[in-house]
Structure 1
Amino acid sequence: MARMKYLQLRANRFEFRFALPDDIAGRPFPMPWPEEIEWCVNRRSGRFKNELVKSLRTNDQRTAERAALPLIEEAHRLVDLARKSITDGPPAEIAPATIDALAAAHTARLMRNDEALRRKGLGLDLDTGAFSPDGAGMTDGDIAAYRAIVSSLDKLSRDEVAKMRGSEAIHGIINKSVEDAGIVLHPDDPAWRQLELAFIKAQRKAVQAITARLNGEEIASPDLPTTKAQPLTTALANWSQSNSRSARKPRQESINEATRAVQRFVELHGDLDVGKITKTHTREFRDALARVPKRLPHKLAKMRLPELLKNDLSAYEPRDAQTINKSLNLLAGVLTKAEKDGHFDAASGWSNPFYVTFDVSTMEKGHYEPFSVGELNKLFASPVFVEGKRQLGGKGEAAFWFPVIALYAGARRSEIAQLRLGDIRTGGAGIAFIDFNDDGDDQNLKTTSSARSVPIHRDLIAAGLLDYVAARAKKAKADDPLWAEFTSPIGPKAKLWSKWFGRYLGEHAVDSPSKTFHSFRHTFKRACREAGLTEEVHHAFTAAVNFLQSGGYRRCPPCGRHRPRGHPA
């Protein structure tokens, strides 16, 4: 009997399993997320799940299929909601200064329109009702009709101020002003009420001035703003979508993290014009982030920052200073892009207000050790490398080749995971090499200088790397992933793979916080030094960010060359 697509038998019980689409799976979710998509969200990781799972509590297939039908419909509905939440983004707040500016612009428009109307006139003839404008000011009929209209508006504006409640006309004006300014507000955002009160007062101020003009007083019209302010959210969008050929677009992961940081800043201070952001704002933001724990239960995690900080959060694990600094540096990058676009030209001596990071001692920074010879021997004598075992979390041949390539090429996990079939090449001299680049849609490098070509070590060739590439080439094109399981989006899959490798490493070789996949890179650097290679040469191999960073790779006893003891057929 054929089994329904979304059913899986596990421990003699059927489960409903629905893989989320790649455009959702593993992505950071908008905060606060809608209650309806709770099932899609992994609160601990702060991302959408990769899969929806629910036990059907039966081992009868027909019963399980009936129970799965409404879940399939619900899962597709949640996918639509999740996509909408990603597209719409988080609820945006609006700065008080922006509200004041929008209201002032409304006053200015009303007064300038009044001035233009009286200067031109309508040429109304009260006896015939005909209009014959001559452009030379108002006729007696014009002024009489206009006074009646303004008198009505005067009463309406008085009533609105007295009741502190705007008419439908005011609400329409507010909606258009917000839309024209490119501001997106959640329907429940309290800023709507603040806008309503500000526009009521602005309209009253304009009507008072127009009434005084009709009584012969000379009152100048305010100037309309000549330039548009750039809210932080707009600056973020410009930074995320670089249109310059020479500008390197940020990685999607960085964009997601910066979006989350901007959202938190907006929750605290509003969507300020970038020119109005001061170090007072950013220090308050930094200190507020320091009070937000790493992980929170859903009830707290969905709160906006000011509301969240009213709670006692002392029971939760605090956030690392480096994590906070990363958020600040991303926002500094957003403003640096705005500076290059000329948004601070009028501000003499401008300095980036987000350069307020915490001082982090060397001991607090992530510290990784190279592997010892004994640890490498244990690892490469384990089932994956000797018996050809392939565990689910290891994602097929990636379980074997990721560690081996990292050891012999000093490459980062992300660089290996994103390799395309065409990135394994042979040069004119017959030397096979790996081309680490960011040419593909889902390929990103840590820095522009990380692009490099690294010769393939003879041990990798002997272990069968080129044979694997040749076999893969029979089934895939040059721009397809080198590793079949690492289709786009690669980032979430690579992180899950790292978790698997961490468990595998701890079980078979060494269980230490300082020994991770990144230790292969340190091991390679150490071997290069012990082999007498110059700094310039092994920096070229590994694309180390700078010499200072490289100094963090400690010298240890030489490990010599190590070849995997086995390779699966």
Structure 2
Amino acid sequence: MGRMKFVQRRAGRYEFRFPLPDDLAGKPAPPPWPEALAALVNKRTGRFKTEVIRSLQTNDGPTADRRVLTHIAEAHRLVDQARRLLSEGPEAGISVDQIAALARDHEIHLLGTDEVIRTKGIGLDMAREDGQGPHDGLGMTLDDLRAYRMLIEELDRYTRQQVAQMRPGESTSSFVNRAVEARGIALAPDDPAWRQLELAFAKAQRDALAGIRARLEGDDVATPERPSEQRPAEPIGLALSAALRLWSEAGGAGARRPQPSSIAEAERAVRRFIELNGDVPITAITKAQARAFRDALVRLPKALPARFGRLPFPELLKQDLSSYPRRNAQTVNKTLALLSGVLTRAERDGHFEVLPAWSNPFHIGFDVAPAEREPYEPFSAAELQRLFASPVYARGERPLGGQGEAAYWFPLIALFSGARRTEIAQLKVGDVRQGETGIWYLDITNEGADQNLKTASSARSVPVHHELIRLGLLGVVATQAKLHPLTAPLWPAFAPPIDPKAKAWTKWFGRYIGIHVVDHSAKTFHSFRHTFKRACREAGLSEEVHNALTGHAGGGVGRRYGRERRADGTLDCGIPLARLQKDIDKIIYHNVQLPASDRQGIKDA
């Protein structure tokens, strides 16, 4: 049996595909067109689309055939309305109910805009010193609050005066003009409805400002949902799964793409959201759905037991998970931030233009306690001493989870370079190289296959510390160079894809130090980076130098001045490699007995 008309299958899911008739397809849409017809009009070109596509949210053929019936009826209704618009022009006149609905929309728009402003903040900070960096976009500063409160109080005074005088001002008239035009309503210049609309809008603005003033005093005033009758039963628009693809693909060659680990996490988050809500159009996602999703994530444990791993999200939430440690607020916030990023990309592409006061529904992260925002702590001398007295270093053991020599070298390289876990794991044989002046250095880059960096400033050259040379790191590199090409992984167990292997290794290391060194959530592999940073300060290294060694951003635009191109075509960080080597070799860990060297390093190159 053939598929029902207007149903197509794409990427394993069924869609409703409705070609517009020839008398509409591609024809100019006379402005203003009613908002109800926005689904048929390309806003950028001002012409009717050639077809309408929406997801049927199923991969089952019979279900798709049933669901498409309502879409077909709705599409024909919109086509009839569009033809009336072309033949008869915009709707003339306006009813009392329409006036009330437009005014209510204005109030919702103002409250929604306020919510966006206060969520992101403005960034005013009179006490901030130059070079301190931009505002983090997480709420308002005290100066934001003072300035915004003064503005709202003045607007409130002005609006109440308009209502008291029954004489709306020019700003109110402009709001009314835009609203009437957006709905495709035609009013004669002398129509009494203009005055009714302006008075209704002034009162709606007064009510919205009263709510905003209450918010500024710390009260919880919700932005009302738009009445359901103003929304199509199933909004037309980009599905969440399609928005994820656009975000992850990021554009053509040379476009900045999200990290593979971020893409994988975002895919898991989207899959779980879809399992709860369906693959809904992004314009239909509400804050209520986002809050419910956030609260469901809180119920999940830090690590899912194997027997629960394949359960759909709704089924997973029915299980008794109370005996497992819960994930923390930062982890939940990270998931919400990824979903927020997916929708922000779609917003830049114009997919929310049909919503006049859209705010990102996933901007609902938890306030994290200050003590939890920076959970990592450096290792103490006593803890480092216990590490180097543990079986890997004292007895030469190589546990299966430690992936051979990685168990020995990863902690040492991190301790003497400040490199991140993934930066070490993704090193190629040719990434440990010798410069023109004879200095050996780690070329931390994203140039190779499956190599990624956290930020642009993470690309850097880090001289190999003299202790790593003493312990034989260069000998390891030389051995690998004899056996493999320079583009091969330096650590054979970490061939692409690297990210899942690096995560598995980190879990092993967490268990290992929990047994042999210290069992504390603030002490992880990332603690080596903090340990190195602290050692840089103790050795008297300037902030500019140790930022260059660790790949931290800082120093403003001036930091990029003075960069010199090497013989291989790459740019240095603006600080000569000899200076970096001299400074990094000042780093010493007092009261720590490092491993004895039983490896033959390259002493002369």
TM-score of the aligned structures, taking structure 2 as reference length: 0.55
Matched, 1:241 2:249: yes
In structure 2, the CA distance between the partners of 1:507 and 1:358, relative to structure 1 (3 Å rule), is closer
Equivalences for 1:121-160 in 2 at 5 Å? none
Q: Is the 8 A contact 1:425 1:432 kept in 2?
A: yes
Aligned residue number for residue 296 of structure 2 = 288
Aligned residue number for residue 23 of structure 1 = none
Matched, 1:475 2:348: no
Aligned residue number for residue 409 of structure 1 = 417
Aligned residue number for residue 133 of structure 2 = none
Equivalences for 1:286-435 in 2 at 5 Å? 286-294=294-302, 302-306=310-314, 308-309=316-317, 314=322, 316-345=324-353, 347=355, 350-365=358-373, 367-435=375-443
- What amino acid does structure 1 have at the position aligned with 2:535? A
In structure 2, the CA distance between the partners of 1:447 and 1:377, relative to structure 1 (3 Å rule), is same
Q: Is the 8 A contact 1:335 1:352 kept in 2?
A: yes
- Superposed CA deviations along residues 86-121 of structure 1, whole A, max 9, x for unmatched, are xx99x87x9xxxx9xx5xx75x85xx48x89xxxxx
Aligned residue number for residue 452 of structure 1 = 460
Aligned residue number for residue 187 of structure 1 = 60
Residue aligned with 2:494, SS: coil
Give unmatched runs, 5+ long, in structure 2. 1-9, 25-50, 90-231, 556-587, 601-605
- Superposed CA deviations along residues 53-93 of structure 1, whole A, max 9, x for unmatched, are xxxxxxxxxxxxxxxxxxxxxxxxxxxxxxxxxxx99x87x
Match of 2:284 among 258, 276, 298: 276
In structure 2, the CA distance between the partners of 1:243 and 1:391, relative to structure 1 (3 Å rule), is same
| CA distance, structure 2, for counterparts of residue 183 and residue 428 of structure 1 | 62
In structure 2, the CA distance between the partners of 1:537 and 1:347, relative to structure 1 (3 Å rule), is farther
Match of 2:70 among 177, 180, 198: 198
Match of 1:496 among 504, 510, 525: 504
Residue aligned with 2:67, SS: helix
In structure 2, the CA distance between the partners of 1:206 and 1:423, relative to structure 1 (3 Å rule), is closer
Q: Is the 8 A contact 2:265 2:335 kept in 1?
A: yes
Deviation at 1:350, TM superposition (A): 4.5
Q: Is the 8 A contact 2:471 2:599 kept in 1?
A: no
| CA distance, structure 2, for counterparts of residue 276 and residue 403 of structure 1 | 48
Give unmatched runs, 5+ long, in structure 1. 1-87, 117-176, 548-556
- What amino acid does structure 2 have at the position aligned with 1:520? F
Q: Is the 8 A contact 1:472 1:482 kept in 2?
A: yes
| CA distance, structure 2, for counterparts of residue 500 and residue 269 of structure 1 | 36
Equivalences for 1:534-553 in 2 at 5 Å? 534-544=542-552
Q: Is the 8 A contact 2:276 2:314 kept in 1?
A: yes
| CA distance, structure 1, for counterparts of residue 315 and residue 544 of structure 2 | 52
| CA distance, structure 2, for counterparts of residue 290 and residue 310 of structure 1 | 14
Which segment is superposed worse, 359-368 or 441-450? 359-368
Aligned residue number for residue 439 of structure 1 = 447
Aligned residue number for residue 523 of structure 2 = 515
Aligned residue number for residue 136 of structure 1 = none
| CA distance, structure 2, for counterparts of residue 505 and residue 544 of structure 1 | 27
Q: Is the 8 A contact 2:470 2:597 kept in 1?
A: no
Q: Is the 8 A contact 1:233 1:271 kept in 2?
A: yes
| CA distance, structure 1, for counterparts of residue 485 and residue 378 of structure 2 | 36
- What amino acid does structure 2 have at the position aligned with 1:537? V
Q: Is the 8 A contact 2:385 2:592 kept in 1?
A: no
| CA distance, structure 1, for counterparts of residue 88 and residue 314 of structure 2 | 42
Q: Is the 8 A contact 1:437 1:445 kept in 2?
A: yes
| CA distance, structure 2, for counterparts of residue 192 and residue 185 of structure 1 | 6
Equivalences for 1:75-114 in 2 at 5 Å? 102=16, 112=21
Q: Is the 8 A contact 1:331 1:354 kept in 2?
A: yes
- What amino acid does structure 2 have at the position aligned with 1:195? R
Identity of aligned residues (%): 50
Deviation at 1:347, TM superposition (A): 4.9
Equivalences for 1:251-266 in 2 at 5 Å? 251-266=259-274
Q: Is the 8 A contact 2:239 2:282 kept in 1?
A: yes
Q: How many residue pairs get matched?
A: 388
- What amino acid does structure 2 have at the position aligned with 1:187? D
Q: Is the 8 A contact 1:450 1:544 kept in 2?
A: yes
Q: RMSD value over aligned CA atoms? A: 4.1
Matched, 1:565 2:565: no
Q: Is the 8 A contact 1:385 1:564 kept in 2?
A: yes
| CA distance, structure 1, for counterparts of residue 483 and residue 321 of structure 2 | 53
Residue aligned with 1:454, SS: strand
| CA distance, structure 2, for counterparts of residue 230 and residue 281 of structure 1 | 17
- Superposed CA deviations along residues 16-57 of structure 1, whole A, max 9, x for unmatched, are xxxxxxxxxxxxxxxxxxxxxxxxxxxxxxxxxxxxxxxxxx
Residue aligned with 1:434, SS: strand
In structure 2, the CA distance between the partners of 1:400 and 1:314, relative to structure 1 (3 Å rule), is closer
| CA distance, structure 2, for counterparts of residue 305 and residue 506 of structure 1 | 31
Which segment is superposed worse, 406-415 or 250-259? 250-259
Larger radius of gyration: 1
In structure 2, the CA distance between the partners of 1:313 and 1:533, relative to structure 1 (3 Å rule), is same
